Amino acid sequence: MDSITKNRQSTTTLRAMIERAYGPGQVPDGEDFATELSYGFFNALYEVRLRDGARAVLKIAPPADVPVMTREQGMMRNEIAAMELVRRVSDVPVPRVDHSDLTGDLVDADWFAMEYVDAACFGIAAEAGELAPDVVEAGFEHLGALNRELNQVVGPHFGPLDGPGFATWPEAATAMFADVLADGVRAGVDLGWDPDVVRKVWDDHAGVLAEVTVPRFVEVDLWAKNSMMRDGRIVAVIDHERAMFGDPLMEAGLTGLDLPFFPDPTPFQRGFGLTELTEGERTRRHLYTLWLCVTMLVETTYRRQTPEQYRWACEQLDIALGLLGRTR
């Protein structure tokens, strides 16, 4: 997937990154040691083969001069913190971070090197019809169970792992939602709705956010395509950059409760341990769907995505607003 945020590098620079991460003895010869991994919209990702034949992955944040949304500024640092936290306090499998570089002297951005996971992307394989239906169902159930384990981690504040932190969830969620709306206004994004109307819909329902009193670790972005599968089991979860301390009902696996485009959440819910939602929980889920839809719509401008992607995101926003009682 292409985006102006992808910070692609020359083989010369990639060699310098390998040397810094793994030492001069691991710098490969030739020009065919690196393969760009094309899935994902935001960061540049390379699979590299080291001199001894081992494989690793280099992940590079967007160039410093490319405008990104407020929440995306310095987001790779949040991802590194999330991966280190998950490895330290849970049994959920995440790749090992071998080296992180926040200096900006080799490339004009943060980057890190991590272990290569020899497995297939679960979401891509499922979408391509490469997996039997029972394997797909079991995969989503396993993903739900992993999310549930992650949600047991309690943080010191609400909001992004590396801050800013908030004392309450209503403060944190409303501030982050307001940032996304402001990002859209700043970039001249046409939401198809007056941003003040969208903000009022949020404010009219935001009282239910006070039901959340414990800041739990949530991945937010753990779609099937951000998980790796081998022999029918999830063996790694990746792309932790949007992780925060908040409400587990935000998890991506529950999006299908509100938006028909997304996968049936039933097997995910089984693993997640969620049955019937209370009225307040359902409203909270609708608010998170609204937040997601506004984010997806604003992203289309920041990442210069296709008109088709923009139109699709507009349709999803209409659905989200309808769930909260606002129709045209």
What does the block give as tokens for 177?
A: 């939602």
How far is it, in rounded angstroms, from Cα 273 to Cα 116?
A: 31
Cα 138 to Cα 107, 151, 222, 229: the distances in Å are 41, 20, 16, 11
Instruction: Kindly report the pTM of this predicted structure.
Output: 0.94
Asked if 150 and 217 touch (Cβ cutoff 8 Å), the reply is yes
Asked if 244 and 160 touch (Cβ cutoff 8 Å), the reply is yes
Q: What is the pLDDT of residue 2?
A: 64
Write out the H or E segment, with its range, that includes residue 115.
Answer: strand 111-115
Instruction: Choose among 260, 247, 253, 275: nearest CA to 323.
Output: 260
pLDDT 10s digit of each residue in the chain, 328 long? 567 888 999 999 999 999 999 999 999 988 899 999 877 778 999 999 999 999 999 999 999 899 999 999 989 999 999 999 999 999 999 999 999 999 999 999 999 999 999 999 999 999 999 999 999 999 999 999 999 999 999 999 999 998 889 999 999 999 999 999 999 999 999 999 999 999 999 999 999 999 999 999 999 999 999 999 999 999 999 999 999 999 999 999 999 999 999 999 999 999 999 989 999 999 999 999 999 999 999 999 998 889 999 999 999 999 999 999 999 8
How far is it, in rounded angstroms, from Cα 40 to Cα 118?
A: 18
Q: What is the pLDDT of residue 31?
A: 87
| String of DSSP letters for 244-258 | EEE-GGG-GGGGGGT
Q: What is the pLDDT of residue 1?
A: 55
For the segment 258-315, what is each residue's pLDDT rounded down to a tens digit? 999 999 999 999 999 998 999 999 999 999 999 999 999 999 999 888 999 999 999 9
Cα 299 to Cα 54, 175, 187, 259: the distances in Å are 36, 18, 10, 18
Domains of the chain and CATH, by start: 11-115 (3.30.200.20), 120-323 (3.90.1200.10)
SS3 17: helix
* Interacting residues of 215 by C-beta distance below 8 A, sequence separation 6+: 154, 155, 156, 157, 158, 169, 245, 246
How far is it, in rounded angstroms, from Cα 251 to Cα 284?
A: 12
